[in-house]
Every structure is written in C-alpha cells, then in structure tokens.
C-alpha cells in the first residue's frame, strides 16, 4: 500500500508539473486569443524576425486561398531574377492559353512580347491571372511544369499544409494552403528589395503594343490605408471567401498577418489590421546579435595575420512582450586561439543564446576573410622587422 500510495503521489506531481510546464509561445497565443476575437475561420499573426506566432486561429487548417497562391509565382520569379537565370528586361511571347485566363487580369494580347517586369508588376499589383500564367510558361515551359516546381519549393520552405494545382489560385480540386503556410511564403518574398519596388505602388498602368493601356490598381488596400503596410496578397473566390496575407513594419519590427475565408472584403482588411494593431501594441524586437558587428578578435597562430575578427553567422532578434521581465543573455564559446589557414565562412565557435538561463538557440561563429598560413619567407621578414 505504501508503495502504491507513493507511486500515486509521484504520478500526480509529475502530471501537475507537466500540465504547468507550458511554453511561453503557447501562453502568449492563449492570451492573445482571449483578448480579442477574429470572426474569419482562419487567421495567423507572425513576427517576421523570430518567426514566432503571436496569434492564431485554425492557422494550420487546409483551405482554398484563392489568389494568395500567386505568392509562389511571385517568389519563384524573384528567385530566378536574383540568381541571374532571367532578367526584368527579358521578353515573354505570350500564349493563347495565358491570354484566355478569366478572373483578375490585365488583358494581355496573345502572341505579343511583354517584359518580365511588366508581367511581374501586373501580378504583384493587380493580381493578374493572365500575367501569372505567362510567367509560369516562360519560366518552366508550361504551367503544369511550373506547378511541379511550386510544390517542390513549398516542401523546401516547410509549407506542410500546401498543395498547388495551378499558378493563379482559380478554383481547382485538391488545391489548398493554410494561414500559417501563407505567412511562411510572404516572409520569403519580403527578403527581396525588388518586391517592395512594386508592392507599395497604389496605381500604375500596363501599356500594351499599339498603345492600349490597362489600369493597375493594388488589390491590397492596406498599403494605402494602414500605417506601415508595405506588401501583401489578396485572394477572393466563392470557394475560398476573402483572403489576405499582408506585412507591416514600424520602427525595427515587422509583422505578417493573414486572414483566410473572411465573409467579405471589408472584414479581411479590418481583421488583418486588428492583428497588426495587437502585435505592435504588445510586442517589440530586441536585436541581441548582429551579424555585421565584430563579436571579438581571436589570436591566429601560424597565420599571415596575428588576429582575426569573429562574427555571428546570422542575426538574432529576440521577441519581447511589453511588460515581460524575461532576461535574454548569450555566451560566446570559442578557443583561446586558432591555427591558420582559415577560409571565408569557416566556423570557429558558437554563441549560446539563453532566456532566463535556459538555452534557446545556438548560432555559429564564423570568420569573414581568408587567413593564409605563414610561409618561411614571411616568418623571416617578421623576425627581421621585429629587430
């Protein structure tokens, strides 16, 4: 009986302990969800720098997301431009298939050459289906081949709730994504300065061959009406409802907000704004580690230089809830000296980042220069110089 009683007590204590050991992320989300309600079926608010979720409602639920699918078309186009595979000046000979797309369009002519820039701008600003298909055919030969690439890239980005069937977001069986996956996609798009060149344009025009013009009006009204909003993608079909994934930046903090399945356009903009308001009012970013700042200098043995500068491989920005007294610290772990030769990017140690004494993350410490091994001739010159 004593053993049974003791075992029962231990079991109960363990259960209570495990029940109370709730991650701070889950606590923050629970508090946020209790503070206000989002009527749309699915929503997500994410801190861009840390990737932490600040609010969610069915954020991993697979749903049709309409034209938010085009964010993958945008991303792959930006990646190809960045890699040099294509350029903005490249000419796309449009097809009958691309020009026949329904829904949102810029009414491109078939068998006419348009620049990559014109087509990309048309997708980012006006959510043009015809321009999106024209880009897909140019990049991979056909929309079908491009869709395979879209799905491959989604897996690489960790978008576990996403499957693509076309590059436009027009209704298709088994095509779906989620609010959370949409924030992942937009966060990758936001890395490109070229995207911001077009995402903040309110009105523009596409000039066709022969002088005909199509007016481009940004479908994301928040870039005009919400302070700090500088990008995003709308979507709307009967099947998906009204959707929006948008980004806003104030001071050093950027947030990504996503609404899926709102009952109308006004609701998606209002609720996306409410999520932004909550995030900016209650959180801030604290840059703990900057990859551009020298962490320390390390003596080099048998090298052409005596000391090498060390840097963090990446930045670390801590998400801080206003009023939270949590303490963020870090420790630099490197040897007392290091031996040449060294190559640019070589890892020589690590940074242990801690919150309230508990390790949260490790970041590699690297050198940002080549350090050649000293030759006998160099050693002789050093000796002579020191005399």
Q: Which of 104, 127, 132, 177 is flagged as catalytic?
A: 127
Residue 43: both structure tokens together = 């929503």
In whole angstroms, what is the distance from residue 228 CA to residue 9 CA? 54
Is 127 an annotated catalytic residue? yes
Burial 115-133 (b: 16+ CB within 10 A, else e): ebbbbbbbbbbbbbbbbbb
In whole angstroms, what is the distance from residue 172 CA to residue 151 CA? 15
Residue 154 vs residues 36, 59, 198, 374: alpha-carbon distances, Å:
31, 17, 23, 47
In whole angstroms, what is the distance from residue 156 CA to residue 364 CA? 22
Helix (H) / strand (E) element for 205: namely strand 203-207
Residue 40: both structure tokens together = 């749309």
In whole angstroms, what is the distance from residue 317 CA to residue 315 CA? 6
In whole angstroms, what is the distance from residue 357 CA to residue 229 CA? 36
Is 233 an annotated catalytic residue? no
CB 52, CB 187: distance < 8 Å: no
Q: Which of 67, 187, 199, 273 is flagged as catalytic?
A: 67
Is 30 an annotated catalytic residue? no
Q: Which of 70, 165, 221, 233 is flagged as catalytic?
A: 70
By annotation, the residues acting in catalysis are: 67, 70, 127
């Amino acid at each position: 009986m004593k053993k049974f009683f003791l075992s029962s007590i231990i079991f109960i204590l363990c259960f209570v302990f495990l029940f109370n050991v709730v991650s701070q992320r889950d606590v923050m989300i629970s508090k946020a969800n209790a503070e206000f309600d989002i009527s749309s079926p699915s929503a997500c608010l994410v801190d861009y720098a840390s990737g932490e979720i600040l609010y969610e409602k069915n954020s991993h639920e697979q749903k049709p997301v309409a034209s938010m699918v085009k964010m993958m078309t945008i991303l792959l186009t930006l990646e190809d431009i960045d890699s040099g595979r294509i350029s903005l000046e490249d000419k796309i000979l449009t097809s009958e298939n691309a020009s026949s797309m329904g829904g949102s369009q810029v009414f491109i002519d078939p068998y006419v050459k348009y620049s990559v820039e014109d087509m990309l701008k048309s997708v980012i600003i006006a959510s043009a289906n015809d321009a999106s298909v024209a880009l897909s055919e140019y990049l991979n030969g056909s929309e079908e081949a491009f869709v395979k690439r879209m799905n491959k890239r989604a897996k690489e980005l960790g978008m576990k709730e996403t499957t693509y069937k076309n590059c436009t977001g027009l209704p298709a069986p088994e095509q779906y994504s989620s609010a959370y996956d949409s924030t992942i996609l937009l966060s990758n798009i936001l890395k490109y300065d070229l995207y911001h060149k077009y995402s903040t344009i309110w009105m523009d025009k596409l000039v066709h061959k022969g002088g005909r013009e199509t007016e481009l009006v940004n479908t994301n009204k928040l870039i005009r009406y919400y302070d700090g909003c500088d990008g995003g993608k709308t979507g709307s079909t009967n099947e998906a409802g009204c959707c929006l994934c948008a980004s806003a930046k104030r001071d050093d903090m950027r947030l990504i907000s996503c609404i899926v399945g709102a009952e109308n356009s006004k609701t998606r903009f209002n609720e996306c704004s409410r999520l932004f308001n909550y995030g900016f009012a209650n959180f801030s970013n604290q840059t703990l580690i900057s990859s551009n700042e020298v962490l320390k200098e390390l003596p080099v043995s048998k090298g052409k230089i005596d000391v090498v500068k060390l840097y963090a491989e990446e930045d670390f920005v801590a998400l801080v809830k206003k009023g939270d007294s949590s303490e963020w610290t870090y420790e630099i772990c490197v040897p007392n000296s290091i031996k040449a030769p060294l190559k640019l990017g070589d890892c020589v140690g690590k940074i242990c980042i801690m919150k309230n004494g508990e390790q949260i993350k490790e970041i590699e410490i690297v050198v940002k220069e080549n350090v050649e091994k000293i030759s006998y001739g160099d050693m002789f010159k050093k000796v002579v110089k020191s005399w």
